[in-house]
């Protein structure tokens, strides 16, 4: 008990909290949060707040998931476990598209339509650039101004530290909490660069690719593997004198998608045009999403896909935990830099260094 009080104190002391940068808290401070802040949050407090749909508590719990401190990680796992029975009921949608396709504008425009239909929407992101630049796609939340202030929407920037695998796991865990908080539509945004699509694909029910019409070479630069993942394609910016071009691009995509074999879902990918600025085509896309979900639920693919994803995440979680335990081990932490230096200076081989560190780990844990 003392242990938990200690970590809660640290958690709320602010400066001691090793959270990722760029994670902004929602502007509203609820009375619930004020109250619990004084008496420290227990796992049950977190769960209660999340189940009540309190986004401040939800944000705090997500911060624990993203924290680099082992005690925060442990606490987050307890919260996730409590929330699990209340999760799984959302429609999870992956959204990809090259920079410039207008993803943020699209998400904002369709997001507001979706909440108007009575849904609660959470927007998450997996940002592969985070590995290098520590940046975040959604860090620039000003691009989603109206959605940020939409009470039925919750926007969470990408965790900005760690490997893609780690970020993906954290996003997957965040989905659980958002679902427990009553969000029944989850968007997971990424950019079109390959590996992050695969990660997103492993946690969503439907994959939507945003495209814009180009100068006749629309299909160039789109990787075959990403095309193959798409259940739906939306040609954005179909407005003004761009409408004809967008329709042409749509035709190109329909042709291109016809070249692929029928996917396992038996769902023939659909291509739409839309304008995020004029708001046209968005409800058609949403209706397409509903068709997809109905279709795959009926033919059993929906559940099969989710179960397979769960199996994948079982292995990912194990592999992550094994690394976590190793690299968080005190003795390993003390020795890692030393051995890394020796390897970089060519004094010992990578294999010997690895063996020594593994020996230290086996002996000292």
Binding residues for its own copies (CB under 8 A): 77, 80-81, 84, 173, 176, 194-195, 220, 223, 303, 306-308, 310-315, 317-319, 321-323, 326, 339-340, 343-346, 349-355, 357-358
Q: How far apart are CA 163 and CA 142, in angstroms?
A: 26
The residue (of 76 and 276) whose beta carbon lies closer to its own copies is 76
Q: How far apart are CA 271 and CA 94, in angstroms?
A: 16
Phi-psi region of 17 (alpha: psi -120 to 50; beta: other; left: phi over 0): beta
**Residue 70: how many CA atoms within 13 Å on its side-chain side?**
13
Element spanning 209, H or E:
strand 206-212
Q: Which of 127, 97, 104, 111 is nearest to 213 (CA)?
A: 97
What's the closest the beta carbon of residue 324 comes to its own copies, in angstroms?
Answer: 10
What's the closest the beta carbon of residue 197 comes to its own copies, in angstroms?
Answer: 12
The residue (of 33 and 46) whose beta carbon lies closer to its own copies is 46
The residue (of 88 and 116) whose beta carbon lies closer to its own copies is 88
The pair of three-digit structure tokens given for residue 363, joined into one six-digit string: 């002996």
The residue (of 286 and 313) whose beta carbon lies closer to its own copies is 313
The residue (of 251 and 358) whose beta carbon lies closer to its own copies is 358
What's the closest the beta carbon of residue 251 comes to its own copies, in angstroms?
Answer: 20
The pair of three-digit structure tokens given for residue 95, joined into one six-digit string: 């959204």
Q: Which of 208, 275, 282 is nearest to 242 (CA)?
A: 275
Q: Which of 58, 99, 37 is nearest to 182 (CA)?
A: 58
What's the closest the beta carbon of residue 347 comes to its own copies, in angstroms?
Answer: 10
- Rg of the chain on CA atoms, in Å: 22
The residue (of 29 and 352) whose beta carbon lies closer to its own copies is 352
What's the closest the beta carbon of residue 248 comes to its own copies, in angstroms?
Answer: 20
What's the closest the beta carbon of residue 349 comes to its own copies, in angstroms?
Answer: 5
């Amino acid at each position: 008990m003392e242990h938990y009080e200690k970590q809660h104190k640290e958690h709320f002391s602010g400066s001691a909290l090793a959270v990722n940068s760029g994670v902004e808290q929602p502007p509203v401070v609820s009375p619930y949060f004020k109250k619990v802040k004084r008496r420290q949050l227990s796992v049950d407090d977190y769960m209660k707040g999340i189940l009540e749909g309190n986004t401040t508590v939800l944000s705090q719990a997500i911060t624990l998931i993203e924290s680099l401190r082992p005690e925060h990680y442990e606490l987050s796992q307890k919260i996730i476990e409590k929330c699990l029975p209340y999760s799984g009921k959302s429609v999870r949608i992956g959204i990809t598209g090259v920079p410039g396709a207008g993803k943020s504008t699209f998400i904002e425009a369709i997001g507001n339509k979706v909440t108007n239909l009575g849904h609660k929407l959470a927007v998450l992101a997996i940002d592969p650039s985070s590995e290098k630049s520590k940046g975040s796609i959604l860090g620039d939340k000003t691009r989603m101004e109206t959605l940020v202030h939409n009470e039925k929407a919750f926007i969470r920037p990408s965790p900005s530290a760690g490997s893609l695998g780690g970020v993906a796991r954290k996003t997957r865990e965040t989905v659980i909490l958002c679902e427990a908080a009553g969000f029944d539509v989850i968007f997971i945004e990424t950019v079109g660069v390959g590996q992050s699509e695969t990660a997103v694909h492993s946690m969503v029910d439907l994959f939507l690719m945003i495209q814009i019409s180009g100068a006749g070479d629309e299909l160039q630069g789109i990787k075959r593997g990403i095309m193959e993942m798409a259940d739906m394609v939306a040609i954005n910016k179909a407005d003004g004198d761009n409408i004809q071009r967008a329709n042409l691009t749509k035709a190109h995509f329909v042709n291109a998608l016809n070249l692929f074999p029928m996917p396992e879902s038996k769902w023939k990918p659909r291509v739409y045009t839309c304008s995020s600025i004029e708001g046209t085509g968005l409800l058609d896309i949403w209706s397409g999403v509903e068709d997809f979900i109905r279709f795959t639920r009926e033919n059993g693919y929906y559940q099969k896909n989710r179960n397979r994803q769960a199996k994948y995440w079982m292995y990912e979680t194990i592999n992550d935990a094994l690394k976590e335990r190793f690299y968080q081990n005190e003795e390993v932490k003390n020795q890692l830099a030393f051995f890394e230096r020796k390897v970089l200076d060519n004094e010992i081989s990578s294999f010997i260094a690895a063996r020594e560190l593994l020996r230290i780990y086996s002996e000292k844990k």
